[in-house]
Amino acid sequence: MIPDTSADMVLGFAVILGVLLVYSLSIFLRARAARQILKDDEDGD
């Protein structure tokens, strides 16, 4: 009989894709914050 490890499979994929998604978002947010600081500096704020 094949063991039912479906919940572990879902958890595994959720963790892999979740970590990659959060990391991608962190790059986007850090870049946006850096661009904003540079823009404010150019505007003379």
Partner 1 sequence: MPKKPLLLTILDILTLILVPAALGLILIYTPVEVNMGPVQKVFYFHVASAWGGMLSFVVAAVTGALYLLRRELKWDWLSQAAVEVGLVFGLTAILSGMIWAQPIWNTWWVWEPRLTTTAIMELIYLAYFILRGALSTPESKARLGAVFAIISVITVPITFFSIRLYRTIHPVVIAAGSDAAFSMSPRMQTAFFTSLGVFTILLADLVWHRTRLAQLQSELEQKGLAS
Q: Give dist(CA 37, CA 34) in Å, integer.
A: 5
Among 9, 25, 43, 45, binds partner 1 (CB under 8 A): 9
User: Closest Cα to residue 20, out of 9, 36, 12, 6?
Assistant: 12
Assess 43 for contact with partner 1 (CB under 8 A).
no
Q: If binding means CB under 8 A, how many residues of this protein chain bind partner 1?
A: 26
Task: Give the sign of the dihedral formed by CA 34, CA 35, CA 41, CA 45.
Answer: negative
Q: Which residues bind partner 1 (CB under 8 A)?
A: 2-6, 8-9, 11-13, 15-17, 19-20, 23-24, 27-28, 30-31, 34-35, 37-38, 41
